[in-house]
């Protein structure tokens, strides 16, 4: 069995005060750091003196393979991922590659997924209590998933009255997707349905707007790959610049005593 170890580390949400103790610990233990440049920058002060390999966006397969190779060579490696490596993160790709290589837990490198604070958690904490009941999460990125499939998922979330978290709402090349998704929601929900737009949660670039379904496209400057949108359901409401999604206690209890 290889003596190397690969940590797939969630460094989210992006501020050290909210990074998990385990994430900091394994980064400190690692000899080599591999990751997308933006995520490596988030932990810059934790990786001084280590070998660091930065990658641009869209080179996920290359950096995953390099991290695996370093671990197979006996190194202790941290592959830094975004908020949580198991939610649109790198751990899925790592296991896909290892499965193709015939890796097993007993005869291969040791792999540990170190969970982080996902975008849906960090963003919801900033804007009230939007995820108190069942919710769906959908990415607008159609680089790896056909747009026709994403449309079906958006339609199902809208029809099912799920609070819906939208990841990767737009990019320079992805223009129509968010508008199409908004139009689907408008077929099933009121134009006044609360919507929160959160850019760069817990980072220096943090910016938050509470709006509604009718006006959610009025903020193009906030849209991008580090933006998350939360669309309320039929019970959600805005109060003092917060989005509240009732859990259902009012139907059983007197709330104010």
Distance, in Å, from the CA atom of 166 to the CA atom of 76, rounded to the nearest integer, reads 34
Pairing of strands 76-81, 110-114: unpaired
* Residue 37: active-site member: yes
Catalytic: which of 5, 24, 37, 183? 37
Q: Which helix (H) or strand (E) holds 25?
A: helix 21-29
Pick the closest to residue 227 from 182, 169, 176 (CA basis). 169
Other beta carbons within 10 Å of 77:
27
Distance, in Å, from the CA atom of 65 to the CA atom of 68, rounded to the nearest integer, reads 5
Catalytic: which of 50, 101, 152, 179? 50
Pick the closest to residue 181 from 157, 202, 205 (CA basis). 157
Structure tokens at 37: 């440049």
3 state SS for 167-232: ECCCCCCCCCHHHHHHHHHHCCCCCCCEEEEEECCCCCCCEEEEEECCCHHHCHHHCCCCEEEEEC
Cα Rg for the chain, rounded, in angstroms?
Answer: 20
* Residue 50: active-site member: yes
Q: Are 74 and 3 in contact (CB under 8 A)?
A: yes
Catalytically active residues are 37, 50
């Amino acid at each position: 069995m290889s003596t190397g170890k690969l940590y797939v580390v969630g460094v989210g949400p992006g501020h050290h005060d909210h990074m998990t103790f385990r994430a900091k610990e394994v980064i400190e233990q690692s000899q080599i750091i591999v990751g997308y440049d933006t995520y490596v920058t988030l932990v810059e002060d934790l990786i001084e003196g280590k070998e660091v390999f930065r990658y641009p966006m869209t080179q996920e397969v290359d950096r995953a393979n390099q991290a695996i190779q370093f671990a197979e060579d006996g190194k202790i490696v941290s592959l830094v991922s975004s908020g949580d490596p198991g939610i649109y993160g790198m751990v899925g790709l790592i296991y896909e590659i290892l499965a193709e290589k015939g890796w097993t837990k007993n005869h291969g490198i040791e792999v540990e997924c170190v969970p982080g604070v996902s975008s849906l958690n960090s963003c919801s904490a900033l804007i009230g209590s939007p995820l108190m009941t069942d919710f769906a999460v959908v990415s607008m990125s159609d680089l790896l998933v056909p747009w026709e499939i994403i449309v079906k998922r958006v339609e199902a979330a809208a029809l099912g009255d799920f609070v819906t978290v939208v990841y990767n709402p737009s990019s320079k090349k992805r223009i129509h997707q968010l508008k199409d998704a908004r139009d689907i929601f408008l077929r099933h929900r009121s134009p006044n349905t609360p919507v929160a737009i959160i850019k760069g949660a817990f980072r220096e670039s943090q910016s938050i707007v509470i709006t509604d379904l009718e006006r959610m496209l009025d903020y193009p400057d906030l849209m991008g790959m580090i933006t998350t949108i939360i669309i309320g359901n039929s019970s959600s409401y805005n109060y003092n610049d917060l989005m509240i999604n009732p859990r259902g206690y009012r139907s059983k209890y007197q709330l104010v005593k």
